[in-house]
Structure 1
Amino acid sequence: MSYVIRTYRGGDEEGIVTAWQESLPYDPIDIEVFRSKVLLDSNFDPEGAIVAVNDDNQVIGFTLALVRRLPMYKDDLEPENGWITVFFVHPDYRRQGIGSKMFQQAKEFIHSKGRKYIFFASYAPNYFLPGIDEQVYPEGYRFLLKQGFIKLYSPVAMDRSLLDFAIPEEVKQLKERREKEGFKITHAEDRHLYELVEFANTVFNPDWGRAIREGILRGLSLDQIFVTEKDGKIVGFCLYGGYDGIQERFGPFGVDPSMQGLGLGKILLNQCLFEMRAKGLHGVWFLWTSENDAAGHLYKKTGFKVTRKFHVMRFSF
């Protein structure tokens, strides 16, 4: 079968989305998601959007390569890094070298921008998955290895039903003890917002600060954000519904490292899940964490189950 590899053109959108749905059945998107996460991404460059089409001009493959043109935080353009956030070839057109040719063009695009590394797919803000899911896309994982990518680490996604959720008595007692010690756990208020975004940006990750800021701009209620204060200073927070307005999606979530070990994360998490259940939500999920760090253990103890595992991959020029 003959095909052409070219860069994105206006009018490709519906074809890309249709081929995406047929090629990545466990991670479909619609045109609205494509518009917001691809076309309106401040780092989108048509030269990095590689499209494969057949003789009938139907899209049969797509690879999206990105480099920063707008910093996530302050002036950091991550000058060594580029990303490929998604790639696919339609099942009817695989094993013809289409993926390899798209990747070659994507690599050339990123290399031409002076980058040393390509990550799949730990890009912020508009990633689709943290990395490759080997279980559901084994061919994709083998393809990345063949392309010279190495596995760096393997975060997991977790889910929990809220139908049986109740705050354990031990957590209620822990909260009382911490409140007596001067910790205050409340919903966020306008007075918290600047400090909260800066706390998320500097203590954790600028993508977390962005998620808070953009979530609120899209209508996220401050009642969905929880903060922990000590001596008038924010030392922890969590929220739900902040990513893309999906109410059952939890996070971001963090406690100042200097305050870890006091159970503040446990209190925040349980309080948040309780209020999600009180609003009628039947489930909660998040897309990635380390399975074996403190947060991963906390989630498991709170009833979360691993639902997917991803590999963050990197290519070096």
Structure 2
Amino acid sequence: MTPEQKQALQEHIQAIAKILYEDTSPERLTSLAGIEEAVRSQMQKHIMPEVGGFFIETVTGTRTGYKRRLKSILGELPITSKQAQQLEVPARNQLSPYLEICCLRVSANVTYEDAAADIEYFTGVQVSRSSQQRLVHRQNFELPTQEDLVEELSVDGGNIRVRTTEGEICAWLGYKAISLHHNGMVGTSFQDNQVVIDWVNHQPLASTVTCVGDGHDGIWKIVDQLAPDVQRREVLDWFHLIENLHKVGGSLKRLKQAQSLLWKGQLDATIALFTNCKGKQAQNFCHYLDKHRDRIINYEYHQAEEICSIGSGSVESAVKQVDRRTKISGAQWKRENVPQVLAHRCAYLNGLLSV
């Protein structure tokens, strides 16, 4: 911008500010917050739509076509069908693309009702609760493809409260989540494990893929379908392993010794410590160790040499992030809506909700 342009702009700004000030009720200007809200409101009503319209007309080079108005962060924005076609704005959209992204980002974190209130507070534009919900369900949230080789991943799951027929207790149904380590991408599937299995298998996989999970059978049934056997390194999560160890109880000295042996991957020596224990918890733990024998590695060596991760914290964090939206106090979901809600939340966590 040249000095002459800056001078002209400043003069126009001063003239506009004076007109808007004279048109604003003094009661709205008793605090800085009030001034901010009043200026934004006046600008969105009188100034920004005109400026936005000028930009649109100049960029597209046309003013022909059916005229309509879009809700935008600039206010009610004028646009014609020809202009909208050039700028790739869908014919029936009532919200501008940028305002849509704002709504999707907010509603990925809170209820639709709260999203409506937050959007109005943040932008000064009213987008109703029902419009927020319809916007989400119109989207096609596809799971992303990673460019770099996938060397590690972890698998976990969570539960969502689903509505049932009137008079019946709400059901908690499970979903599965997979986190691709290093870039933190997460994919979820509800009552259909094949969705996340196919998603992983379509990623560029390294020659050896480390798959970390806890002791749940459902986790390893999924892992069993990820990459060929020769390409997979299965690792039982260290922290779940130790959590199960301490469920045995009894001698603290023995538990400490067992932990030291497990840290080095000495499985048979660990089992020998509990051979003479008749308690059910000890027997269950020995069975647990034997069941996951091939997944219990030398944790000390693998961590020291930075060969692979020894914990599934990445996916557990992702599940907690998903639950922040799906387990809002009192939330109940229609079963048919759950996959879209999960996909919406994942799109946010994967950084896909941006212009």
TM category, shorter:
under 0.3
Which has more helix, going by share of residues?
A: 2
Which has more strand, going by share of residues?
A: 1
TM-score, scaled relative to structure 1: 0.25
TM-score, scaled relative to structure 2: 0.23
